[in-house]
Structures are given as structure tokens and as C-alpha cells.
């Protein structure tokens, strides 16, 4: 059983409104254009985590070797590693679902109608579990570098 830890932030309404306007501006600027949209949800979650670290006494800094950068990098890579493991399991589950569906189709014509129905239900459950993973692409789960976190912290600096 994993232990969940919720991190919340309390900011002044003016700061929160400024952040929300910036997120909206980023999304609006990217709408209707080619390419990947900005990951404003990720930026917002990191802004909350940075506020949490500042409240714990870690000074805000975006430099590559700063304590803030290392703390954010460590958390990000730990979370993406977990997500990557989940995506890998989902991929395996999808393959298993395909195999069990084939087995169910083969069993339909035989005397094992009941077994075929059980296998089909199992395959549907496995496929549903696999769909819960939002983005199974490997590129979403690679460890990032301190330079990438530095860029993210610079964006957060403009939100503060």
C-alpha cells in the first residue's frame, strides 16, 4: 500500500489570479497552432510544489545546482519513474487482453462456452485497466535533466 501525501498551497488571491491569467494566456497563445500544447497543468503543479518547498525553508533559486532545482528534479524523476512502471504494466495488460480475447474467440465454437465468457470478461477488465494510463509513450517517462528543471523554475519565477 502506497502512502499518499497531499501538498497544498495558500497564496494571496492576487497572486493566484495572476497565475491563472498566465496559464490562460499560454493556452490561448498556443491554440490553433501546430505542435504540442503547453503543459500548463504540469506548470501549475510544480508551482504548488515550489511554494511548498519555500514554506519548508528552501530558498527559491532556478540555478542548475541549487537546492530547489535538486529537490524538484528528485521529485519529478521519482514520479515519472512510477508512472513509467505503470505504463509498462498497462502495455503488458493490453497484450494479455488481446491474447485472452483470441482465446475466447477460439473457445466459442467448442464446448467451453462458459470458459469463453469468463475469458472475455477477464480480457475486458484487463483492457479497461490499461486504458486508465493517460499516456503510455516512453518519452513521457524519461528522467529529465537539471537544465529542464531550470527552465521550468524560470517560468515559475515569472508567476511569483
Q: Domain residue spans in the chain?
A: 13-20+39-159
Across 35-68, b (16+ Cβ under 10 Å) vs e yields: eeeeebeebbebbebbbebeeeebeeebeeebeb
**Average pLDDT in the 103-113 region?**
66
Is-contact 142 66, C-beta < 8 A?
A: no
Query: Which residue has 485472452 as its cell numbers?
Result: 100
10-47 residue pLDDT tens: 778 888 888 888 888 888 887 888 877 777 778 888 88
Q: Which of 2-6, 30-34, 88-92, 156-160 has the lowest mean pLDDT?
A: 2-6
Calculate the average pLDDT of the chain. 78
Percent of the chain with pLDDT over 70: 72
**Average pLDDT in the 80-102 region?**
74
Q: How confident is the model at residue 128 (pLDDT cuts 50, 70, 90)?
A: low
**What are 76-83's contacts with CB under 8 Å, separation 24+?**
76/46, 76/144, 76/149, 77/143, 77/144, 80/140, 80/141, 80/142, 80/143, 80/144, 81/141, 81/143, 83/140, 83/141
Nearest to 144 by CA among 39, 51, 5, 37: 39
Amino acid at each position: 500500500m502506497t502512502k499518499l501525501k497531499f501538498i497544498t498551497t495558500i497564496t494571496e488571491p492576487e497572486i493566484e489570479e495572476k497565475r491563472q491569467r498566465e496559464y490562460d494566456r499560454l493556452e490561448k497563445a498556443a491554440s490553433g497552432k501546430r505542435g504540442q500544447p503547453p503543459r500548463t497543468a504540469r506548470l501549475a503543479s510544480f508551482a504548488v510544489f515550489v511554494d511548498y518547498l519555500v514554506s519548508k525553508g528552501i530558498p527559491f533559486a532556478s540555478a542548475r545546482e541549487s537546492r530547489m532545482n535538486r529537490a524538484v528534479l528528485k521529485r519529478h524523476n521519482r514520479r515519472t519513474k512510477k508512472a513509467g512502471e505503470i505504463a509498462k504494466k498497462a502495455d503488458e495488460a493490453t497484450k494479455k487482453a488481446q491474447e485472452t480475447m483470441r482465446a475466447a474467440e477460439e473457445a466459442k465454437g467448442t464446448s467451453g462456452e462458459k470458459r469463453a465468457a469468463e475469458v472475455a470478461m477477464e480480457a475486458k477488465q484487463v483492457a479497461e485497466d490499461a486504458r486508465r494510463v493517460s499516456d503510455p509513450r516512453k518519452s513521457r517517462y524519461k528522467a529529465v535533466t537539471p537544465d529542464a528543471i531550470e527552465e521550468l523554475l524560470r517560468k515559475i519565477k515569472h508567476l511569483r
